[in-house]
Chains A and B, each alone.
Chain A
Amino acid sequence: MSDLYSWIRDHLQALAASQVLPQPFEYEFVINALLCALLIGPLLGVLGSMVMIKRMAFFSQSVGNAAMTGVAIGVLVGESYTSPYLSMFGFCLLFALTLKYTQHRTTLPNDTLIGVFLSISLAVGASLLLFVSAKINTHVMESVLFGSILAVDHTDMNVLLGVTLVCALIGLPLYNAMLLASLNPSLAHARGVPVRVVEYLFVVLVTLVTVACLKIIGAVLVEALLLIPAAAARNISRSLPVLVTLAALIATFSCVVGILVPMQFYIPVPTGGAIVIVAALVFVLTTIIRASTARFRGASL
């Protein structure tokens, strides 16, 4: 894959040198980040719209926080400081599946249970990170929390590409089943959907995407990029195809603009923050459109 990345990079850098593309395209790390953005945009759009419909926003937030604990465990067991993927994937999957398992075996409301797990993941993550912080550069911590395009390398791009392929191979054939299982489990059962299985699979997909996006967006804000594009699209959508397409476009637009604008105008903000601010501006815009357009006011029924 490295040859392919280099080939794309060389061409874009040549276009930037001849001033066809803006100046940030001269930098290798910007192109790496943009390639990631083009992968995670559609991925977050499709998955995010489902997270919103399934009312699992805070579930993905708690998984993002669990990633901090994963990073700390990675450092403790001697994984690479910059890419402790084994620990992050391992711990986050364990965390998410435990949360889902507990949901099925308690009468507590979902928001209460997720709140409990969110607090636990934040407390454990913060404590362990402080414990290991003496061992690592504070910039590594910052990139984990808020994302950094400077930190994106070929390993991260390969992980993201792998996760995108896994999501496409599992998520697309089971999309209807996953959505139906949360809209109406009885109806899903009648249609032969193994409801529990697809619910666990969805949790796995959200976890994989959350961890794979950490380098770009950061643990604190990854949930926002799953949710805000979908919410923005929801404001001006009346059908599922429009919702998913708009969510994917808004997520991709937010990632690309959030990466390029701070570089172009030398604004010292973390990538995750910039991306989420762009997405939030799009959300405000669609809210205004919705409030001022009769066609969309009825779409929230």
Chain B
Amino acid sequence: MEASTHAAHLHDVHEAHHEHELSFWQKYIFSTDHKVIGIQYGITALLFLLFGFSLMMMMRWQLAYPGHAIPVVGGLLQKALGTEMMTDQILENGVKVPGVMTADLYNAFGAMHGTIMVFLAIVPLAFAAFGNLVVPLQIGAVDMAFPRVNMVSYQSYFIGGTIMLASFFIPGGAAKSGWTSYSPLATVADLGHTFNGQTFWIIGMVFLITSSLLGAVNFIATIIQLRAPGMTWMRLPFFVWAQFVTAFLLLLAFPPLEAAAVMQLMDNLAGTSFFLPSGLIVSGAPANISGGGSPLLWQHLFWFLGHPEVYVLILPGMGMVAEIIANNTRKPIWGYKSLVYSVLAIGFLSFIVWAHHMYLTGMGTKISTFFQTTTMIISIPSVIILTCLFISLWGGSIRFNTPMLFSLAFLPMFGIGGLTGLPLGFNFSDLHLHDTYYVIAHFHYVVAPGTIFALFAGIYYWYPKITGRFMSEYWGKVHFWLSLLFMNLVFQPMFAQGMAGLNRRMADGGATYAGSDTVVGIDPSILHTNVHISWAAWLLGISQIPFILNFFISMAKGRKIPSDNPWGATTLEWQTPTPPPHGNFTKPIEVHRGPYEYSVPGHAADFTPQNEPERLKHA
């Protein structure tokens, strides 16, 4: 019965589709089609990813060569941002060279690098772009449950991103109190300007939070309501499970940050003291405020979002890697149920670990002990997931194509990121490592060679579904090996720097604290590592050129896919035309089996699509 109504709907779809052609604006800009919205999200997020990376490459110049003018772009940047933000370098012969980053600008770039990478690049790419493109197809739905809400979600994201970008060019510059925007610093950092970068940041965040909220509601409703007949919960591809949990994290963790953002906005504009303590001294004078607020409150509210956000960043990546590993080992993923229960456990536990970011705030040892315990517990399901994925490789005849290489690299890279988190999770060792480069190395291993590699894998893997062409394998492998090399050269030395005591967020890369024969300080060799890291970072930037060219050139010139299912995959997104039409499926979809039926004994093909009827099994 259900299947027949489904079929009737699909029939209508086809009829309606031919009746009127959509205008350019309806089709590409104000589209309600989940695939177009997914592509919009994907392109915008990739641009932000590049932009956020560029900010970091300029910061790396400042860290390696403090006080020197940035080559090539320095002069241009000074023209764009003004002399308030960029000063001149005076050479020995008296010549002025424009383009030296001020500490204020370094702080602004640092804060915006974090904000852009987390909220404008990775989350929109991993959750919104891939979620929109793949989830409705994988569950056999015609579209998302609320297509117009979906459109508004993207528009809200776009507006939020525009506000963030605009904040670079306002008087005083962008927000400069870190992506965490700790109060009272965030409130007093730029008192000279009423509508300062921090205000822009907050308003931008409100739009981004709205976007995430609408997206999360939409994804959960879609997965609950629009699964095709026969697509039971335990037949969902793991990627869908990962997105499902991610959506719940976004739905429930973001609102407290929104509340906090509203309160910080009140602090900045209405003169309240939510996060400003009594007796606050600003620039040597008592602040003109009522006081009575709590800086710790901001940190609690921020990290209540901030920690689940970490899993928002990683879970979609894990889901993609699981799909790609199953496909390229040609065997079922090992421990599907363990993966599902682990991802649910992570989702729940991620709400009660947040204060492990706050061991040094003086919130009390009892609270620290509680959060240390929950933090150790949450590492268990993460390790289960990683172990399942590793064991999945066992005995497979692995196809080493580009998506698989990125997925394989994801495993040890995420492993390094995860395991180096343990010393940060124990509060005794965190005392030493807190706020050092060790922390930067740790979370970048999770997000950069971790999540971003998973995202690259996803792009190479699903690209043929959208364009009908493969990306170049050769240049894909060049991109992979160079990225792998330079990622590690960037982040591995930071562990050493951090353990040697080099603090993060220093505009001169720690030069002020350099030790010498007579002064106890940071070892010069540790400081000199900054130069090596910076060169590795710039080379990492250059290594992305093959990817960018490959991405665009393959659209027109790439090898055409031989069939709609070029990877020989089992999941439903490959059982549609390429690219899938409006309404996705040309025939009614009914699901008969689990998501990873590869190399089933007795079958002619080494994969059995989920929608293949049961009787064929014995044919």
Answer whether A and B are interacting partners: no
- A residues adjacent to B (C-beta < 8 A): none
